[in-house]
């Protein structure tokens, strides 16, 4: 399957894509598979698998294999470093944390991971990863020079740099569990310069109203993670958000 084309086609056809993020470190592989199934039943379009800490090796492989048993929605790796690559995924967000101060998150992990991606045959989807305040764990781990939440022009400059470097996707990340999602003004300004390039927004999106606000502002894809870990009815929560963001 061509995952990038699959996602882009949904964005064109339905307005907005919904992605469910599962961190393999947060539950057992069987529990992760149940969450993926429930999210798929709620209408999510694909499952992102990864995290900032402890999301590699056997746990990552097992989580992907169990998820595959339960749903045929594509699995996309969302790696915190080069250990976050697995041949059992369909694709990988091959991303560079452009606003990191640490070269390992900009190019070194990518260099170490690239041959593994090549040999495994999984599809790389190039992505500029930008962390906005408050940034959360990923901002700390990735040593990000956080983009101030009210400085859309800085996010625009980074997004343009990513686009001119050839990255197809841009991800505006407020950090998992953020108390505030990326602001609509920033989303709109970034989407304006990206044109046809796709914009992903995540971090702190917990309800349909916030998800819809992000989608209306210009997000092509919405990521939710924490709500699937915290909710007792994952299908219903995802359904609410999916119906709010699809045209
Ligand atoms: C984190 O953007 C994602 O990388 C998801 O954030 O856990 O807040 O949904 P939440």
Instruction: Give the pLDDT of the chain (247 residues) as one tens digit per residue.
Output: 699 999 999 999 999 999 999 999 999 999 999 999 999 999 999 999 998 877 778 999 999 999 999 999 999 999 999 999 999 999 999 999 999 999 999 999 999 999 999 999 999 999 999 999 999 999 999 999 999 999 999 999 999 999 999 999 999 999 999 999 999 999 999 999 999 999 999 999 999 999 999 999 999 999 999 999 888 899 999 999 999 999 7
- CB of 210 within 6 A of ligand 1: the answer is no
Distance 88 CA to ligand 1 centre (A): 22
The neighbouring-strand residues paired with 94 are 126
Query: What is d(CA 40, CA 114) in angstroms, rounded to the nearest whole number?
Result: 29
84 is known to lie in a ligand binding site: no
Q: What is the DSSP letter of 42?
A: T
CA dist list (Å): 240 to 60, 72, 217: 29, 21, 19
Query: Domain spanning 3-245 has what CATH number?
Result: 3.20.20.390
CA 225 to centroid of ligand 1, rounded, Å: 5
Q: Which two tokens stand for residue 132?
A: 């906005």
Supply the ipTM of this predicted assembly.
Answer: 0.97
Asked if residue 32 lies in contact with residue 24, where contact means CB atoms within 8 angstroms, the answer is yes
Q: What are phi and psi of 239, to 5 degrees?
A: -55, -45
Determine if ligand 1 sits within 6 Å of the CB of residue 226. yes
Give the per-residue pLDDT at 1: 64
Listed residue (204, 174, 175, 230) closest to 26, CA to CA: 230
| Cβ of residue 135 lying under 6 Å from some atom of ligand 1 | no
């Amino acid at each position: 399957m061509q995952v990038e084309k699959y996602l882009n086609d949904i964005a064109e056809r339905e307005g907005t894509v919904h992605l469910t993020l599962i961190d393999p470190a947060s539950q057992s592989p069987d529990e992760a598979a149940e969450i993926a199934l429930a999210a798929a039943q709620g209408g999510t379009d694909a499952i992102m698998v990864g995290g900032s800490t402890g999301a590699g090796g056997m746990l990552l492989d097992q989580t992907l294999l169990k998820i595959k048993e339960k749903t045929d929605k594509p699995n996309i790796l969302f790696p915190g470093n080069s250990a976050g690559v697995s041949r059992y995924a369909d694709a990988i967000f091959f991303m560079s944390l452009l606003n990191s101060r640490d070269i390992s998150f900009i190019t070194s992990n990518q260099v170490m991971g690239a041959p593994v991606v090549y040999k495994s045959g999984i599809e790389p989807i190039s992505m500029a990863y930008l962390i906005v305040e408050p940034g959360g764990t990923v901002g700390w781990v990735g040593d990000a020079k956080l983009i101030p939440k009210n400085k859309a022009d800085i996010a625009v400059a980074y997004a343009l740099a990513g686009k001119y470097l050839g990255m197809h996707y841009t991800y505006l990340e407020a950090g998992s569990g953020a108390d505030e999602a990326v602001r609509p003004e920033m989303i709109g300004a970034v989407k304006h310069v990206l044109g046809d390039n796709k914009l992903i927004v995540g971090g702190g999106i917990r309800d349909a109203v916030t998800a819809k606000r992000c989608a209306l502002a210009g997000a092509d894809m919405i990521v939710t993670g924490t709500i699937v870990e915290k909710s007792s009815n994952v299908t219903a929560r995802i359904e609410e958000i999916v119906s709010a963001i699809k045209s």
